[in-house]
Amino acid sequence: MASLGLNRYGKARVRVMKVVRYDDFHEMKEWSVKVLLQGNFETCFTQGENHNILPTDTIKNTVYSLARDSTSSTLEDFATELVAYLLANNPQVSQAAVEIEEKNWRQLLIDGEPHATTYAIAGPEVKTTEVLGERGSALKISSGIDGLVILKTTKSAFTGYIKDKFTTLPESTDRIFATRATITWEYDTLPSDYERARASAIESLLKTFAEHDSLSVQHTLYDMGVALLAAVPEAQRVKLTMPNLHCLPVDLSRFGQNNPNQIFVPTDEPHGYIEAVIER
């Protein structure tokens, strides 16, 4: 006999742009919000009975309304506020999870100074957070960054690996290392300033990536995770996903030319895929 297992529902890709208009400058954030609720919803699935269901359209409107009155300046704080509201006002909900992505808008520099009301996208990466609230338990909060595209032209090698009848990859002691990284760190204790913690995390990741004498993507990934935990003492663990976006040397010998590690074909399909969790 079939029975209902773990289930939840909610609203995804609720896009919110908020502009706070101060006298001398405007502050702007663009978020994409996902809300997922878990609770006493079994009869909705098994009998089509909706008396415990908060419509997903109502969830969307809740996001907009709370954003209007919220004083939160970080996506972590707003996600926390939204989780608290949903649990306080919906006794049928046992767990509320909120995920937010924030686009990387930065004030445009004009003559070296930030323009008060004009923004530009600083990079393809987005800031991320997930806040999970469950009745009777402490909040679980993580921060992260998704789509961090970074590349270095040297200090990367890959040698000594298994070679079998299908191996065509030549060893390299000096190759290009490119990735589109996704990094998420979970807090054991909550930082007093999420933005400062995020800035410290990203600075540690970039510094380690740039300076590391890499013997593999795995080698650099691990040291990046170690560096982040050292830079953010409130973080308990960090998950790093780092696809290896290959830059393949072009064989120019048929044109009577050599290729002293200068001409490459960038390709991201197929790509190596490496991920790991580093924890205290």
Q: DSSP string spanning 212-255?
A: --BSSHHHHHHHHHHHHHHH-TTEEEEEEEEEEEEEEEP--GGG
Ordered strands of the 126-134 beta sheet: 9-21, 26-39, 93-102, 126-134, 140-152, 177-187, 235-249, 264-279
Phi, psi of 184 (to 5 degrees): -135, 130
Consecutive 10-residue averages of pLDDT for the chain (280 residues): 94 97 94 97 94 97 97 95 98 98 96 95 95 96 98 97 96 96 97 96 98 98 98 98 95 96 94 97
Catalytic hit among 11, 29, 34, 212: 11
Asked whether residue 108 falls in the same domain as residue 197, the answer is no
Q: Classify residue 221: in a domain, yes or no.
A: yes
237 lies in a domain?
yes
Residue 1 within a domain: no
End position of a domain, from candidates 138, 160, 176 = 138
| Claim to verify: residue 129 and residue 17 sit in the same structural domain | yes
Looking at the 3D structure of the chain, how many domains does it have? 2
C-beta separation of 225 from 237 below 8 A: no
Same domain, 151 and 174: yes
146 φ/ψ angles, rounded to the nearest 5 degrees: -125, 135
Q: Whose structure tokens read 């191996």?
A: 167
Range of the domain at 54: 9-138
Question: What is the structure's pLDDT at 1?
Answer: 87
Cα separation values, 74 from 15, 25, 89, 179, 278, Å = 16, 18, 23, 27, 25
Where does a domain end: 85, 109, 138? 138
Strand extents, DSSP E, 3-91: 9-21, 26-39
Please check whether residue 71 lies inside any domain of the structure. yes
| Helix (DSSP H) and strand (DSSP E) numbers for the chain | 5, 10
Any domain includes 4: no
How far is CA 44 from its chain centroid? Answer: 33
Question: Are both 187 and 245 inside the same structural domain?
Answer: yes
Backbone angles phi, psi at 266, to 5 degrees: -75, 135
Same domain, 158 and 244: yes
Phi first, then psi, for residue 126 (nearest 5°) are -120, 150
Residues 164, 202, single domain; the answer is yes
Give the end of a domain, one of 119, 138, 157.
Answer: 138
Is there a single domain that holds both residue 72 and residue 167? no
Same domain, 154 and 117: no
**25 lies in the same domain as 118:** yes
Structure tokens at 101: 């992505």
CATH number at residue 264: 3.10.270.10
Angle between helices 217-231 and 194-211 (to 10 degrees): 150
The active-site residue out of 26, 43, 56, 241 is: 56
Helix (H, G, I), strand (E, B) or coil at 91: coil
pTM, two decimals, is: 0.93
Q: Is 11 a catalytic residue?
A: yes
In terms of domains, do 206 and 189 share one? yes
